[in-house]
Structure 1
Amino acid sequence: MADRVSTPHLQQGRIPVRSLKGSDPVASEVLRDMVYLDELDRQAGIVNNNIVFAWRRAAAECSPTDAKVWSALQAALFAAIIVQRILYPGSVHQYPHHKTQKESRDFARRRGQRLRDLLGEAADAEIIRLTKDVRDPFEHVDERLDQLMTPDAIALSDWYISTGRALLTPETGAGSTGYGLRVFYPEGGFLYFGREKLDLYVLDLAMLRLRAAIGVAQGDLQKKIRGRNLFGGSQLVDLLPEGGAHQRAEYWLAERQEFGHGLTHPTGG
C-alpha cells in the first residue's frame, strides 16, 4: 500500500492522509496510480458485497418487492459504473489544472489505459462495459416511465423479485399496452430493466478477479517507491461548532420519531 499518515483530530478518530508526491517523478506517478487502484478495489468490493447481500436476502424468501434487496442492487450498479469510468473514461469536464477540455479528456484516457495495462486481462472483462446498459435506465427511470405513459398504456409490471418468470414488454414495443421494467431473478443471477439484462454472477466474479489483479499490481508498484514521500498542504477545520453535531442529530432523531421511524442514538445520548 502507498505510504500514509493519519492525523488525530480531538478524540473523534484518525484522519487518513496519503502522499501524492514522492522523492522523484517515478515515485510520484506510482503514488498517484495507487490512489486509482485503491478506489477501484473499494468500488469493486462494494459491487461484490451488495450482490451477495441481495442474493442472500432474496433467497431467504423476503417480500417480492423488498426495498433492501433493491437498495443493494442499485448500490452495486452505482459502484460498477465507477469502476467502468476509472478504467474506461468517457467524456469528462475540463479539470482546473488543464487549459482545455480536450487536455482533460486526454489525461483521463491515458490514466485509463495505464491502469488497464497494470491490471491486464482482469480490466478487459466485457461485463465491466456492459453494466452501463442496465445501469443507465435505472438512473433515468423517470424518463423510462414517461415513455410508457401513452394513451393506450394499460399495465406496468416493475420492481420485483422473480422465481423464474417475468412479465416483460412485448418485443414489438410500439403500440404495447403492457410494460415490464425492473426484475431481479436471484437464482438465475440476472437483473433486468425491460429487455436489457445484466449477468450479476459474471459481474461479481469479474470484480473478484479485478481485486486480485489490483493486489498484485499494488505490490509491484510499491517496489518502485524510493526515499521519503511528501505530506502537507491541507487545512484542518472543525466541521461544526462544539455541540453543533449533537444538536443536529437530536433534531433529526426527534423529527424521525414524529414520522413513526424513530432511531436510537448510537452513543446512547
Structure 2
Amino acid sequence: MELKNRRIPVQSIKGSDDASTERLKLLFYLIEIERQAKVFNDSFGWAVEAASTGNNADAWKNLQAAMFAGIVASRIVTYGQDPKPDGWPGSKGEARKLAKEAKKKRIKELRRLLALPDGDDYSLYKLADIRNGLEHIDEWLDRALYAPSRAAALSDWYLAGRHLIHSTEDAGKGEGVAGLRGFSPETGRAIFHRQQFDLFVIDIEMAKMYHNSCEVQADLLREIRGRCQFGGGQLFLFTDEMAQRHSWWKSEREKILADVPPKPLIDGRVRLWMQVEDRSN
C-alpha cells in the first residue's frame, strides 16, 4: 500500500485578544461535544435498527459504541470527580487547584451556552452510572460467578421484548446480579448490571446537545475578532518502508481469523433461549 499524505487539522486556540481566545477555547470543546453526540446518535440508531431485526451482535456492537461516545460527551459537561493534577504547573496542591478551576469554568460556560440544567437530575449527567455498568463488567461477572449465591443461570448481552430478566433467586430483593446487560429496542429500556436506563430519552437529549452545539459554534465564530494565531508544529515523518506494515497486518489478521474454529455449540446444553410470555391478561 502506498504511504499517502493526508491533511491534519490545526485549530487555533489563541486569538488576537482575550475575548477571542476564550471563544476559541469554548469552540474546541463544542466541536468535541458535537462529534461525540453525533457518534452516539448514529450508533444508537444503528443499534435499534439491528435489534429490531433480531441481530444481537450488531445491536450490541453499536450500542456499546454509542454508550462510550455518550459518556465522553457527558464528562465534558459534568462535574463528577476532581480532575487529576498531572501536567499542570506548580506544586501538587497548586496543580490540583488549577485543574479544578479550569473544569468548573469549562462546565459553567458550556452549560450556559448549551442551555443545560444545573441540577443533578438530568439524564445526560447520569451516564457515569452506565459507564460503571459497562466498564466494570469484570467485577460484576466475578460477583455473579464467585460470590455466594443461589443463582443457577445468568442472562447477559441479550435483546429483550416485553421483559428484562432478573435472576429468579434474587428478584425483588435488590441484591441480585440482575440481567447484567439487556436492551429492548421497542421501549428503549436497557439494563446494565442492576440499573435500568431509558436510552430513548438519552438519545433525544444527545440530539438536542448536538443541535445546540452546532448552533452555538456559529454564534461564537461571528464574535471572534482579528486573526487567529497558529504556532509551529513538530512533524514526525513515516518512511516508505513503514507502509509495509499494512500488508503485514492484513496478512497476519487474515491468517488468524481464517483459522478460527467453528463457534462452540453451547445452545441446548449450557444455554437455553427462553420465550417469556405475558400471562397477566
**Deviation for aligned residue 1:123:** 8.3
How far apart, CA to CA, are the structure 2 residues paired with 1:207 and 1:138?
A: 19
Q: Answer yes or no: is 1:48 the counterpart of 2:44.
A: no
Q: Which residue identity lines up with residue 108 of structure 2 in the other structure?
A: Q
Q: Deviations over 1:128-182 (max 9, x none)?
A: 01222222111000011111222444211111111222321313145x6x85211
Q: Which residue identity lines up with residue 69 of structure 2 in the other structure?
A: A
Check the 8 A contact 2:51/2:159 in 1, yes or no: yes
Structure with greater proportional strand content: 1
How far apart, CA to CA, are the structure 2 residues paired with 1:89 and 1:26?
A: 25
How far apart, CA to CA, are the structure 1 residues paired with 2:228 and 2:118?
A: 29
Classify the secondary structure of the residue corresponding to 2:98: helix
Q: Deviations over 1:205-240 (max 9, x none)?
A: 1011112211221122112211111112211221x3
Q: Answer yes or no: is 1:259 the counterpart of 2:251.
A: no
Other-structure match for 1:242: 240
Classify the secondary structure of the residue corresponding to 1:155: coil
How far apart, CA to CA, are the structure 2 residues paired with 1:85 and 1:196?
A: 19
**Deviation for aligned residue 1:46:** 0.8
**Deviation for aligned residue 1:97:** 3.6
Q: 1:22 aligns with which of 15, 37, 57?
A: 15
How far apart, CA to CA, are the structure 1 residues paired with 2:230 and 2:118?
A: 31
Check the 8 A contact 2:16/2:225 in 1, yes or no: yes
Q: Answer yes or no: is 1:94 the counterpart of 2:81.
A: no
How far apart, CA to CA, are the structure 2 residues paired with 1:38 and 1:47?
A: 14
Q: Answer yes or no: is 1:147 the counterpart of 2:129.
A: no
Q: 1:115 aligns with which of 110, 113, 118?
A: 110
Q: Answer yes or no: is 1:188 the counterpart of 2:181.
A: no
Other-structure match for 2:166: 168
Label 1:187 to 1:261 Cα distance change in 2 as closer, same or farther (>3 A): farther
TM-score scaled by length of structure 1: 0.84
Matched pairs, number: 246
Check the 8 A contact 2:164/2:182 in 1, yes or no: yes
Check the 8 A contact 2:37/2:209 in 1, yes or no: yes
How far apart, CA to CA, are the structure 2 residues paired with 1:134 and 1:23?
A: 42
Label 1:45 to 1:58 Cα distance change in 2 as closer, same or farther (>3 A): same
How far apart, CA to CA, are the structure 2 residues paired with 1:17 and 1:232?
A: 9
Check the 8 A contact 2:181/2:193 in 1, yes or no: yes
* Unaligned residue ranges in structure 2 (runs of 5+): 260-281
List, as ranges, runs of 4+ consecutive aligned residues in structure 1 with deviation greater than 3 Å: 121-125
Q: Which residue identity lines up with residue 168 of structure 1 in the other structure?
A: H
Q: Answer yes or no: is 1:127 the counterpart of 2:148.
A: no
Q: Which is further off, 182-191 or 144-153? A: 144-153
Other-structure match for 2:221: 222
How far apart, CA to CA, are the structure 1 residues paired with 2:28 and 2:106?
A: 12
Classify the secondary structure of the residue corresponding to 1:79: helix
Equivalent pairs: percent with the same residue? 36
How far apart, CA to CA, are the structure 2 residues paired with 1:32 and 1:107?
A: 11
How far apart, CA to CA, are the structure 2 residues paired with 1:54 and 1:257?
A: 27
TM-score scaled by length of structure 2: 0.81
